[in-house]
Chains A and B, each alone.
Chain A
Amino acid sequence: MSFRAKVFLSIAATAVVAVWIVAEVVSTLVTQSFERRDAQRTAALVNQFQREFDRRGVEVARRIEVVADSDAMQRLALNLAGHADTSSYFTLAQTVAQEQSLDFLELVGTDASIISSAEWPARFGYKEDWLAQPVDWKTQGAFLEKEDLADGQALGLITVRTVKAGDGMLYIAGGRRLDQEFLDSLPGSEGMRVRLYRQPGEVPSVKSDATVTTIPLRGRDNQLLATLLIENSRADLVALKRYIQETAAIVGGAGVLLGLLLSFWTASRVTRPLRLLASSVREVAVGKWDTRATVSSSDEIGQLARDFNGMTEQLVEQRDRMIQAERVAAWRELARRLAHELKNPLFPLQITIENLQRARDASPQQFDEVFRESTTTLLAELGHLKTIIGRFSDFAKMPAPQLEAVNINQLAREVLQLFEAQLQAPGRPPVKAILQLAANAGEVQADPDQLRRALHNLVLNALDAMPHGGELVFRTSRHDNKVAIEISDDGEGLTPEECDRLFTPYYTTKQHGTGLGLAIVQSVVSDHKGTITVHSELGKGTTFRIELKA
Chain B
Amino acid sequence: MRRPVWAWLALSSVAISDATAATRPHYGGSLTVELSNAQTSPDPAEWNTALSMPITETLVRLNARGGIESGLSVAWQHDADWKRWRFSLRPKVTFHDGDPLNGASAAPALLAALKKKYSDVSIQTGGQAIVIQSSAAMPDLLSDLAEASAAVVRHSETNPLIGTGPFRVTASEPGHRLTLAAFDDYWGARPYLDSIAIEFGSVRTRADVFDIPVGPARRILPEGIATWSSAPRSLVAITAANVHPVLMQALALIIDRAPIVNVLAQRKGEAAFSLLPQWLTGYAFLFQSTPDLVRAKQLISQLRLAPMSLSYPANDVFLRTVAERVALNARDAGIAIQPTPNAGGNLRLIEIPLQSTDGATELERIAGALGMSHADSGKSESLYEAERSLLDRVIPLVHLRETYGISPRVHIESSKSDAFALHLEDFWVQP
Q: Which A residues are within 8 Å of any B CB, using their own CB?
A: 85, 87-92, 120-126, 150
Contacts and interface: CB of A to CB of B under 8 A. Distances in A.
Nearest to A115: B263
Residue with the greatest number of chain A CB neighbours at <10 A, chosen from B218, B256, B266, B321: B218
B266 A122 contact: no
B217 A122 contact: no
B328 A150 contact: yes
A121 B218 contact: no
A510 B108 CA distance: 166
A124 B259 contact: yes
Nearest to B215: A91
Contacts of A125: 256, 259, 263
A87 B262 contact: yes
B263 A87 contact: yes
Contact of B328 (A90, A91, A122): A122
15 contacts: A85-B262, A87-B263, A91-B216, A91-B218, A120-B328, A121-B216, A121-B321, A121-B324, A122-B327, A122-B328, A123-B328, A124-B259, A125-B263, A150-B324, A150-B339
A89 B262 CA distance: 11
A88 B217 CA distance: 8
Contacts, number: 38
Contacts of A123: 328
Contacts of A92: 218
A90 B262 CA distance: 10
B264 interface: yes
A216 B327 CA distance: 32
Given A90-B218, A90-B264, 7 more contacts: A90-B216, A90-B263, A91-B218, A121-B321, A122-B324, A124-B259, A150-B339
A348 to B, nearest CB: 145
B86 interface: no
Contacts of B324: 120-122, 150
Contacts of B321: 121-122
Interface in B187-230: 216-218
B218 A122 contact: no
B176 interface: no
A92 B259 CA distance: 16
Interface string B251-271: 000001001001110110000
Contacts of B256: 125
B325 interface: yes
A154 B321 CA distance: 20
A85 B267 CA distance: 11
A123 B216 CA distance: 13
Contacts of A89: 218
A89 B264 CA distance: 11
A88 B219 CA distance: 9
Contacts of B328: 120, 122-123, 126, 150
A89 B220 CA distance: 12
Interface centre among A122, A123, A125, A150 (most CB of B within 10 A): A122
Interface in B318-340: 321, 324-325, 327-328, 339
A121 B217 CA distance: 11
B327 A150 contact: yes
Contact of B325 (A85, A88, A91, A122): A122
Contact of B267 (A87, A120, A121, A124): A87
A124 B263 contact: yes
A91 B327 CA distance: 19
Contacts of B259: 124-125
B293 to A, nearest CB: 13
A124 B263 CA distance: 9
B327 A88 contact: no
A91 B263 CA distance: 10
Nearest to A150: B324
A127 to B, nearest CB: 12
A91 B217 contact: yes
A116 to B, nearest CB: 9
B266 A87 contact: yes
Contacts of A126: 328
Nearest to A92: B218
Contacts of A121: 216, 321, 324
A463 B324 CA distance: 134
Contacts of A91: 216-218
Nearest to B265: A87
Contacts of A87: 262-263, 266-267
B312 to A, nearest CB: 12
Contacts of B267: 87
A175 B351 CA distance: 36
- In the complex, which of the residues A89, A90, A92, A125 has the most CB atoms of chain B within 10 Å of its own CB atom? A90
